[in-house]
Amino acid sequence: MAHLILASSSPRRNELLSQLGLTFDVYSPDIDESILHGETAAVYVERLARMKAKAVQMRFPEAVIVAADTSLGVDGRILGKPESKQHAFEIWAQISGRKHDVFSGVCVRTKEQICSIVVRTQVEFQALSLRDMEDYWATGEPLGKAGAYAIQGIAARYIPRIDGSYSNVVGLPLHETAQLLQTVKALN
């Protein structure tokens, strides 16, 4: 297999890609992650995954690049990572006691090919009390997480059901990523 690079500084994506039994390096590109006017969560995450892959491909032209981005979509709005405690509480107020969508855009790129996909998983979140929010914030887990929660961590207690890919909610849909790698013939 060609030199594989994960275009992400996310430890969760690193762990997930490792589950495919692959050897890879990590390089995190610096890109503008601003949301464009009228952009949906699905379009946003695919655009960012493609931008990350392109930025890393320019630096490592012979490599196979895997890039991803994950965000939540609720009521037509994109919910990213919390910028503060207040922002986390605002996010939780929007998803508390209801379902929301988690979208991940994944792009696999070589110098000859670019393949990308958007994966959607629906997550049901229980109603959170103010005490739940205070307790969860105090763990530190919500920081740096899309939607201000980690399904693979303490937040699992608040999630009675998902419909779709669990690894997508963590940050990298493994089945679809493996399919994209096979499409660009990076896996034998």
**One pLDDT digit (tens) per residue for the chain, 188 residues:** 689 999 998 999 999 999 999 999 999 999 999 999 999 999 999 999 999 999 999 999 999 999 999 999 999 999 989 999 999 999 999 999 999 999 999 999 999 999 999 999 999 999 999 999 999 999 999 999 989 999 999 999 999 999 999 999 999 999 999 999 999 875 54
Determine how β-strand 64-74 pairs with β-strand 161-163.
unpaired
Question: Which position among 69, 75, 135, 163 bears the catalytic label?
Answer: 69
114 located within any domain:
yes
pTM score, two decimals? 0.93
Q: CA distances (Å), 181 to each of 110, 171, 184, in order?
A: 10, 17, 5
Number of domains in the chain: 1
155 located within any domain:
yes
| Domain span at 174 | 4-183
CATH of the domain at 73: 3.90.950.10
49 located within any domain:
yes
Tell me, yes or no, if 75 is annotated catalytic.
Answer: no
Q: What is the pLDDT of residue 187?
A: 52
52 located within any domain:
yes
64 located within any domain:
yes
What is the DSSP annotation of the chain? ---EEE----HHHHHHHHTTT---EE-------PPPTT--HHHHHHHHHHHHHHHHHHHSTTSEEEEEEEEEEETTEEE---SSHHHHHHHHHHHTTEEEEEEEEEEEE-SS-EEEEEEEEEEEEPPPPHHHHHHHHHTSTTTT-GGG--TTTGGGGG--EEES-HHHHHT--HHHHHHHHHHTT---
188 located within any domain:
no
Residue 147 corresponds to which amino acid? G
CA 82, 83, 89, 90: dihedral to nearest 10 degrees?
A: -90
Distance CA 92, CA 135 (A): 13
Distance CA 100, CA 178 (A): 25
Question: 95: burial class by Cβ within 10 Å (0-12, 13-18, 19+)?
Answer: buried
